[in-house]
A and B are shown apart, each in its own frame.
Chain A
Amino acid sequence: MLNVIGKRILSFCVVLNTFITYIFISNTLVISTVQAEVIHSERSLYTNILVEDKDDLRCLKFNVKSNKTRQSCQLKSEPQKLVFNYTKLLLTGLLVNPEPKRILIIGLGGGTMSNTLHQLLPDSYIDNVEIDESVIKVARQYFGFLENEQIKTYSQDGRVFVKRALLKKQEYDWIILDAFNGDYIPEHLMTKEFLQEIKKLLSQKGILTANTFSSSKLYAYESATYKSVFGHFYQVSIKDNSNRIILARKSGLEPIIDRNKLTEEQVNKEKDKLALELLALGVDVEKLYQNMKSTATSQNWEDDNPVLTDQFAPANLLNID
């Protein structure tokens, strides 16, 4: 009985905390309507890189003029907190595979994801792959991107890295594909052949989370391509957001946590532990569960849509609104 009450209190605290966190973050965002100060700008081989400070918020921006410009932000006072929704959504990976030992992140940004995962999973190995050397430098210099014995960074094209890793017979438990920024799409990272390589690189329990921004016709092509390789997958998105997270498992979908096999207590214990850790980062697990939809139950594209291949990959042309 006491145990139950304890849990109630705990979950109440969880909700309250989340609420406070949200207020805190939204306040920060409201206050920060002040003109942002550009503290670093540079033209790299691939894009324009800008680092902006607005009060407590520090953001990395690519290609300023685009309204779809993708940002990687952190609160300077609390760098471990995840500010943007898509980074939180990527953590749904942990609900499906709670203990990934080897993680591959393709697309570094400010290095926030790598830092967060290291904090959550201090024993795991993280490989970061980023094509743009300048982005890596900026992440180190302005976003406290952490590298050590366990966290490595490779300045390489994602596809080349994956192919080389396959040759070396490496395996990853979690691959995070975050190389799309809503602006230009690296077409060779969207094809069926690439996803098959990713799938091969995953361990038996391994998962893929891809942060994608496809709109217009590309949405259906992209979805069909993922389905052709992984079968059904989860889509995680928030309504008024242009991106969605695709969450796929190497061995196909099964219920997130098979609630029939575990007793309710076990389920809650698992969830609470993760919930508390995630909460420290400003992530509400219940929200994550709510935003997850399996394509087995709700598929929002035509089944006979063609897939993207190395031979046929007009991703950028399809993404024109």
Chain B
Amino acid sequence: MCVELLAGRILAPFFGSSVHIWGSIITVFMLSLSIGYLLGGKLSTRSASLSRYGVIFIVAGITLLPIVTSSTWLMEAIFIAIEDSRYGSLLASTVLFFIPTIILGMLSPYSVRLLVKDSNESGQVAGKLYFVSTLGSALGTIITSFYFVMWFDINTIVISVSLLLSLLGGTAIVLAKVNSSFSSLNTQGDISHA
């Protein structure tokens, strides 16, 4: 949501702030989230692990970076190629936000897969996940729009989000490593008991 909010700002210099700009942005975010959910669920059926989960975070962080590095010339090219600012903004938000949002969307179903231990509690786990992620979206929205835009450049905010995602991913991978060595110790212990 933090990024979605900034999207309006990022597009405005080239495509203005007409109503259809928000139409483009929200459409692209919803579409890519829905695809992300589908792909994330699919991916979670093939040897899901915490370290793979971490990799998704890191990839999401990396795919946000083109917004900082190349958005200006990309939007300029689109602006010149497409006269109608409706389709211009739709294409621009697709190019900039489609892929990172798909990958961010993959995280939710993957989280469900990792957290659910038995089918009885699956509803509760999903509920908690929706709670956390939607609450996070709300916080991201309000903090970004009320304060971040006053304190920082847009690029600084996007880079921070990217770094934070990579950091979370890194932590997940480290945790996975620690866990696996821990559990292999446990297994060895079990064996020795036997």
Contact = CB atoms under 8 A, between A and B. Distances in A.
B80 A310 contact: no
Interface stretch (A136-144, A183-191, A244-252): A183-191
A268 to B, nearest CB: 45
B171 to A, nearest CB: 30
Contact of A46 (B19, B80, B146, B155): B19
B16 A158 contact: yes
A186 B13 CA distance: 11
Given A45-B19, A157-B18, A312-B153, A187 B80 contact: no
B87 interface: no
Contact of A159 (B12, B83, B149, B155): B12
A157 B85 contact: yes
A193 interface: yes
Q: B interface, how many residues as a size bin? A: 20 to 34
A164 B14 CA distance: 10
Contacts of A131: 16-18
Contact of B14 (A160, A191, A311, A318): A160
Contacts of A45: 19
Contacts of B152: 312
A194 B9 CA distance: 13
Interface in B16-50: 16-19
Contact of B13 (A167, A310, A314): A310
Contacts of A309: 153
A62 to B, nearest CB: 16
Interface residues of A, number: 25
A314 B150 contact: yes
Contact of A194 (B13, B18, B155): B13
A48 to B, nearest CB: 15
A85 to B, nearest CB: 28
A311 B153 contact: yes
Interface of A: 45-46, 131, 156-160, 163-164, 167, 186-188, 191, 193-194, 309-314, 317-318
Interface of B: 9, 12-19, 79-80, 83, 85, 146, 149-150, 152-155
Given A312-B153, A314-B149, 6 more contacts: A156-B85, A160-B16, A163-B79, A187-B9, A311-B153, A313-B9
- Top-4 shortest CB links A-B: A157-B16, A188-B12, A311-B153, A314-B150
12 contacts: A131-B18, A157-B15, A157-B17, A159-B16, A160-B16, A163-B14, A188-B13, A191-B13, A194-B13, A310-B9, A312-B152, A317-B150
